[in-house]
């Protein structure tokens, strides 16, 4: 029986800490649908202040948060949003902006660093004169950090320039900031500066921050009032949510300072992986807490073989495809866990390659 578990599937797999559980048990609560939960108010006020926006709203998930933001900005059905072809909203959120929101996605190729070419963004904006035939562009979406690019960070300068394009054409800018705090720490830039140009931001509490549930969306007071109505429409209005918000407040206090350590452990793991025969990691492109580990051609390694071998040693990972594995570091992964993972992986690589030679 495997006794040691090292869960690298995602930073969403963390367990609530004892401090979180204690805060949840003693949280002061009331009916949030009626607007009276004091712990929810405290979290929302704190998040709005940190992000430099007027107001905030707790939502059950990042997917709902992004959907609400897109629907508030694109309140006319058949509106169009410009977004990256590998971004989370487009790939992993069930097409909700289309099926529920009636919003048409116009995709731009994401570069390796998670950005979209500024010229391509501007070129994709529809000419209002063609509104008889085409969707009307109303919104641009960015993702920071960009998960499918390996947790790459979008700079404040880049985001500002996208914001300038949006304003020049009368559009809104939304940032899917599921891991925006990771970007802030990696870039050494205050989080509010990374979203100055944004009209709305969704921030996940249950990824790098390690809270058990929820996201927060931020924006102007009028935006949040509209968002609150949509949250209710989508089934996201909950009653005594202070129980959940209490854990998030602990996460902001205890886990936010740990993100830099998470990034250092990620680098340590990546550098160790890159020394193994048959495995390739682009260490230079690594900026936050995510690793894409590729199997080199001719190595006879496959993602599934390595996953199975690692699982036998209690190390959990997610294959991205037949020759790539994703690993994500979080605050409950120790330096000892990293060394253990490297040792087990080295053993697995040697065993697989030797078996293929026999």
pLDDT of the residue at 128: 86
3-state secondary structure 172-218: EEEEEECCHHHHHHHHCCCHHHHCCCCCEEEEECCCCCCCCCCEEEE
pLDDT of the residue at 187: 98
Interval 113-165: pLDDT, tens: 999 999 999 999 999 887 788 999 999 999 999 999 999 999 999 999 999 99
Give φ, ψ of 288 to 5 degrees: -130, -120
pLDDT of the residue at 170: 97
Task: Tell which residue, 83, 224, 87, has the closest CA to residue 141.
Answer: 83
Q: Rounded to the nearest 10 degrees, what angle do helices 335-357 and 303-312 cross at? A: 120
Confidence of residue 87 (pLDDT cuts 50, 70, 90): very high
What does the block give as tokens for 194? 């990374």
pLDDT of the residue at 257: 95
> Is pLDDT above 90 for 300?
no
Interval 188-209: pLDDT, tens: 999 999 999 999 999 999 999 9
Interval 229-243: pLDDT, tens: 999 999 999 999 999
User: How confident is the model over 105-120, as a mean pLDDT?
Assistant: 98
> Is pLDDT above 80 for 358?
no
> Is pLDDT above 90 for 217?
yes
pLDDT of the residue at 1: 58
Dist. CA 334–CA 262, nearest whole Å: 9
User: How confident is the model over 206-228, as a mean pLDDT?
Assistant: 97
Give φ, ψ of 260 to 5 degrees: -60, -40
Confidence of residue 357 (pLDDT cuts 50, 70, 90): low
Dist. CA 59–CA 44, nearest whole Å: 10
When the pLDDT of each residue in the chain is averaged and rounded to a whole number, the result is 95
Dist. CA 164–CA 121, nearest whole Å: 12
pLDDT of the residue at 159: 98
pLDDT of the residue at 350: 86
pTM: 0.96
Cβ atoms of 139 and 175 closer than 8 Å: no
Dist. CA 340–CA 51, nearest whole Å: 37
Confidence of residue 2 (pLDDT cuts 50, 70, 90): low
8-state DSSP, 126:
P
User: How confident is the model over 236-259, as a mean pLDDT?
Assistant: 97
3 state SS of 146: strand
pLDDT of the residue at 355: 73
Residue 76, Ramachandran bin (φ over 0: left; ψ between -120 and 50: alpha; else beta): beta
pLDDT of the residue at 130: 76
Task: Tell which residue, 72, 124, 128, has the closest CA to residue 101.
Answer: 72
Confidence of residue 222 (pLDDT cuts 50, 70, 90): very high
> Is pLDDT above 70 for 308?
yes
């Amino acid at each position: 029986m495997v006794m040691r578990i090292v869960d690298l599937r995602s930073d969403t797999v963390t367990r609530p800490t004892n401090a979180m559980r204690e805060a949840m048990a003693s949280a002061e609560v009331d009916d949030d649908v009626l607007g009276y939960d004091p712990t929810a108010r405290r979290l929302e006020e704190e998040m709005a202040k940190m992000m430099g926006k007027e107001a905030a709203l707790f939502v059950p998930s990042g997917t709902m948060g992004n959907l609400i933001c897109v629907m508030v900005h694109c309140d006319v059905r058949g509106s169009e949003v410009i977004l990256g072809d590998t971004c989370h909203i487009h790939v992993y959120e069930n097409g909700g902006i289309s099926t529920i929101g009636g919003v048409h996605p116009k995709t731009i190729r994401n570069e390796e660093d998670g950005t979209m070419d500024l010229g391509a963004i501007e070129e994709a904006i529809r000419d209002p004169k063609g509104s008889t035939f085409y969707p009307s562009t109303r919104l641009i979406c960015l993702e920071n950090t960009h998960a499918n690019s390996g947790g790459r960070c979008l700079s404040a300068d880049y985001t500002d320039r996208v914001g300038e394009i949006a304003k020049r054409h009368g559009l809104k800018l939304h940032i899917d900031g599921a891991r925006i705090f990771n970007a802030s720490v990696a870039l050494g830039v205050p989080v509010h500066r990374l979203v100055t140009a944004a009209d709305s931001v969704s921030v996940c509490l249950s990824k790098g921050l390690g809270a058990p549930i929820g996201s927060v969306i931020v924006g102007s007071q009028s935006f949040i009032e509209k968002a609150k109505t949509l949250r209710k429409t989508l089934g996201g209005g909950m009653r005594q949510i202070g129980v959940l918000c209490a854990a998030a407040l602990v996460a902001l206090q205890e886990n936010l300072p740990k993100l830099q350590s998470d990034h250092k452990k990620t680098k340590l793991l990546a550098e160790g992986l890159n020394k193994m025969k048959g495995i390739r990691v682009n260490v230079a492109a690594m900026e936050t807490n995510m690793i894409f580990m590729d199997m080199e051609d001719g190595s006879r390694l496959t993602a599934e073989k390595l996953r199975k071998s690692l699982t036998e040693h209690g190390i959990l990972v997610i294959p991205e495809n037949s020759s790539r594995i994703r690993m994500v570091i979080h605050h409950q992964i120790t330096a000892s866990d990293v060394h253990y993972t490297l040792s087990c992986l080295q053993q697995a690589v040697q065993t697989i390659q030797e078996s293929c030679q026999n």
